[in-house]
Protein backbone atom coordinates (compact mmCIF):
# COMPACT_ATOMS: atom_id res chain seq x y z
CA UNK A 1 0.00 0.00 0.00
CA UNK A 2 1.42 3.35 -1.07
CA UNK A 3 2.16 5.77 1.67
CA UNK A 4 3.02 9.40 2.28
CA UNK A 5 3.58 10.27 5.91
CA UNK A 6 3.99 13.63 7.62
CA UNK A 7 5.79 14.14 10.89
CA UNK A 8 2.93 15.71 12.83
CA UNK A 9 -0.86 15.96 12.51
CA UNK A 10 -1.08 19.02 14.73
CA UNK A 11 1.57 21.58 15.62
CA UNK A 12 1.45 24.77 17.65
CA UNK A 13 4.35 27.21 17.37
CA UNK A 14 5.08 30.74 18.47
CA UNK A 15 5.70 33.70 16.18
CA UNK A 16 9.33 33.89 15.16
CA UNK A 17 10.11 30.21 15.75
CA UNK A 18 11.79 28.11 13.07
CA UNK A 19 9.47 25.29 12.07
CA UNK A 20 10.30 22.05 10.26
CA UNK A 21 7.64 19.95 8.57
CA UNK A 22 8.80 16.56 7.36
CA UNK A 23 7.34 14.38 4.64
CA UNK A 24 8.38 10.85 3.71
CA UNK A 25 7.13 8.69 0.82
CA UNK A 26 7.81 5.03 0.27
CA UNK A 27 6.95 4.79 -3.43
CA UNK A 28 10.30 5.84 -4.94
CA UNK A 29 8.60 8.84 -6.55
CA UNK A 30 10.69 11.48 -8.26
CA UNK A 31 8.30 14.36 -7.57
CA UNK A 32 7.37 15.76 -4.18
CA UNK A 33 5.18 18.77 -3.42
CA UNK A 34 4.26 21.01 -0.52
CA UNK A 35 0.87 22.73 -0.49
CA UNK A 36 -1.05 24.79 1.97
CA UNK A 37 -4.84 24.63 2.11
CA UNK A 38 -6.95 27.48 3.41
CA UNK A 39 -10.76 27.86 3.37
CA UNK A 40 -11.94 29.51 0.18
CA UNK A 41 -8.47 29.45 -1.37
CA UNK A 42 -8.04 25.77 -2.13
CA UNK A 43 -4.70 24.03 -2.45
CA UNK A 44 -1.81 26.35 -3.26
CA UNK A 45 1.62 25.10 -4.22
CA UNK A 46 4.48 26.35 -2.06
CA UNK A 47 7.43 24.41 -3.49
CA UNK A 48 8.03 21.25 -5.41
CA UNK A 49 11.00 19.02 -6.10
CA UNK A 50 11.51 16.85 -9.15
CA UNK A 51 14.70 15.15 -7.99
CA UNK A 52 17.09 14.97 -5.06
CA UNK A 53 18.52 18.42 -4.31
CA UNK A 54 16.34 19.96 -7.06
CA UNK A 55 13.54 22.35 -6.19
CA UNK A 56 11.31 24.93 -7.80
CA UNK A 57 9.19 27.67 -6.33
CA UNK A 58 5.46 27.28 -6.52
CA UNK A 59 2.87 30.03 -6.35
CA UNK A 60 3.45 31.16 -2.76
CA UNK A 61 7.09 30.48 -1.73
CA UNK A 62 7.59 33.62 0.36
CA UNK A 63 8.49 32.82 3.96
CA UNK A 64 9.26 29.17 3.19
CA UNK A 65 12.23 27.09 2.12
CA UNK A 66 12.62 23.39 1.37
CA UNK A 67 15.21 20.66 1.50
CA UNK A 68 15.44 17.36 -0.34
CA UNK A 69 18.62 15.52 0.56
CA UNK A 70 17.18 12.05 -0.01
CA UNK A 71 14.66 10.88 -2.58
CA UNK A 72 12.09 9.77 -0.05
CA UNK A 73 12.15 12.86 2.17
CA UNK A 74 11.04 16.44 1.50
CA UNK A 75 11.17 19.02 4.27
CA UNK A 76 9.37 22.35 4.47
CA UNK A 77 10.98 25.01 6.63
CA UNK A 78 9.37 28.14 7.99
CA UNK A 79 12.37 30.29 8.79
CA UNK A 80 10.48 32.62 11.14
CA UNK A 81 6.89 31.57 11.65
CA UNK A 82 4.19 34.22 11.43
CA UNK A 83 0.49 34.11 12.27
CA UNK A 84 -0.46 34.26 8.58
CA UNK A 85 1.25 30.90 8.14
CA UNK A 86 -1.38 29.23 10.29
CA UNK A 87 -2.82 26.69 7.87
CA UNK A 88 -3.16 23.05 6.85
CA UNK A 89 0.01 21.85 5.12
CA UNK A 90 -0.21 18.92 2.74
CA UNK A 91 2.66 16.99 1.22
CA UNK A 92 2.25 14.94 -1.96
CA UNK A 93 4.38 12.78 -4.24
CA UNK A 94 4.04 11.44 -7.76
CA UNK A 95 5.93 9.68 -10.49
CA UNK A 96 7.33 11.95 -13.15
CA UNK A 97 6.49 11.96 -16.83
CA UNK A 98 2.97 13.33 -16.80
CA UNK A 99 -0.51 12.02 -16.15
CA UNK A 100 0.36 10.38 -12.84
CA UNK A 101 -1.75 11.04 -9.80
CA UNK A 102 -0.36 12.77 -6.75
CA UNK A 103 -0.55 10.85 -3.48
CA UNK A 104 -1.16 13.03 -0.46
CA UNK A 105 -0.07 12.74 3.14
CA UNK A 106 -2.59 13.22 5.99
CA UNK A 107 -1.66 16.86 6.49
CA UNK A 108 -0.24 18.94 9.32
CA UNK A 109 -2.45 21.55 10.90
CA UNK A 110 -0.06 24.29 12.01
CA UNK A 111 -1.15 27.03 14.35
CA UNK A 112 1.19 29.98 14.91
CA UNK A 113 0.35 32.07 17.96
Question: Which residues of this chain interact with other proteins, rule CB under 8 A?
Answer: 4, 31, 33, 35, 40-45, 48, 50, 56, 58, 90, 94, 96-107
State the CB neighbour count (10 A cutoff) for residue 66.
22
Tally of CA atoms within 13 A in the half-sphere of 69 that contains its CB: 3
| Closer residue to other proteins, CB minimum distance, 15 or 52 | 52
State the CB neighbour count (10 A cutoff) for residue 109.
15
Minimum Å distance from CB 100 to other proteins? Answer: 7
Minimum Å distance from CB 64 to other proteins? Answer: 16
Minimum Å distance from CB 57 to other proteins? Answer: 11
> Residues 19, 35: contact at Cβ < 8 Å?
no
Amino acid sequence: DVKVTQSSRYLVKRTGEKVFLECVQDMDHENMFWYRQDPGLGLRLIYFSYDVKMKEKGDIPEGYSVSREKKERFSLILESASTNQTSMYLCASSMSGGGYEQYFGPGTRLTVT
